[in-house]
A and B are shown apart, each in its own frame.
Chain A
Amino acid sequence: MDVKTFVRANADRVVAVGFVIVGAVAIVVGWFGVSGTGLAAEQIPYLVSGGIGGVVLIVIGCTAWVSADLQDEWRRLDAIDERLERLVSGRTNDGFDETPSNENGHAVSGLSDGSIAKEIAT
């Protein structure tokens, strides 16, 4: 996968990392500003913009990252929901009322490949 495709596929995470990086840079710049002057009154604006501003940006970045994880999980649940819908409607349409069996003739109580259980488990 090339960089462009990766960025496109993970745009929300790239934005999240961007916020965290900018926040870290703001804190470093704020530190330089504070250390460059001996007057407390001149240090306070750096504290507000660089220090607190940097922390705010990092919080936004972390929130965006967790938000991307939740969005991914939602999409996976969508896919499971869709498959479940297909399976259930397939059973109804085929008049499927018998317990399905595997190749050994055993009755199976669930999906033979266990894929939905696997997806929910992960």
Chain B
Amino acid sequence: MNLGGRSGPWSVTDVRFALSAGVVGVVLLAWGWWQSSGTAKVGDAVPGVVLGVMAALAVVAGGLSWVAAGRRAVQARRQEIVARLEESALLGPTRAGDSSVAALVAVAGSSRFHRDDCLLVRGKKVDRLPDGVRRLRRRTPCEMCQP
């Protein structure tokens, strides 16, 4: 799935659904207000409250679907970029068994990642980061070994 061509995380369907839910919500709210304001009897005004609650539910549903669709698209795009990064070997070892390519490691509890031959991790217990980018998230590269 190539999401790069879109100008934002939402598809036309997402926009249509959210807009429809919003319009339905506004119409129901206006209708509810109209229904409840035209009478002096509580019993006659209650359906207006019900319409108002339905309006709120419609708007909440539209908003939730909008946010969920946006989050899904951003997540998919992120995974797409990570996959391309891994594919292009810009991060992580390029060829299995190539000793000239340093492996990436991190000291437990540290927010930095290093080359395995970095002086700062020598003699320390380190975790290898074999999964390339996925494991590098939330970590910053060591300034000394510049992995």
A48-76 at interface with B (beta carbon < 8 Å): 48-49, 51-53, 55-56, 59-60, 62-63, 66-67, 70-71, 73-74
List chain A residues, Cβ under 8 A from B90. 84, 87-88, 110-111, 116
Complex partner residue of A109 from B44, B45, B78, B91, CB under 8 angstroms? B91
Shortest distance between the CB of B140 and any CB in chain A (Å): 6
Q: Name A's interface SS.
A: helix
B97-147 at interface with A (beta carbon < 8 Å): 98, 100-104, 115, 117, 133, 136-141, 145-147
Q: Is the CB of A114 within 8 A of B140?
A: yes
Q: Is the CB of A59 within 8 A of B37?
A: no
Shortest distance between the CB of A82 and any CB in chain B (Å): 9
Q: Name B's interface SS.
A: helix
List chain B residues, Cβ under 8 A from A73. 9, 74
List chain B residues, Cβ under 8 A from A41. 39-42, 44-45
Complex partner residue of B74 from A45, A56, A70, CB under 8 angstroms? A70
B49 within 8 A of A: yes
Residue of B nearest to A45 (CB): B37
Q: Is the CB of B136 within 8 A of A74?
A: no
Q: Is the CB of B32 within 8 A of A120?
A: no
Q: Compute how far the CA of A120 lies from the CA of B136 in the bound complex, rounded to whole angstroms.
A: 9
Interface string of A18-51 (1 = CB under 8 A from B): 0000000000000000000001111011011101
Residue of A nearest to B44 (CB): A41
Residue of B nearest to A56 (CB): B59
Q: Is the CB of A99 within 8 A of B101?
A: yes
Residue of A nearest to B60 (CB): A59
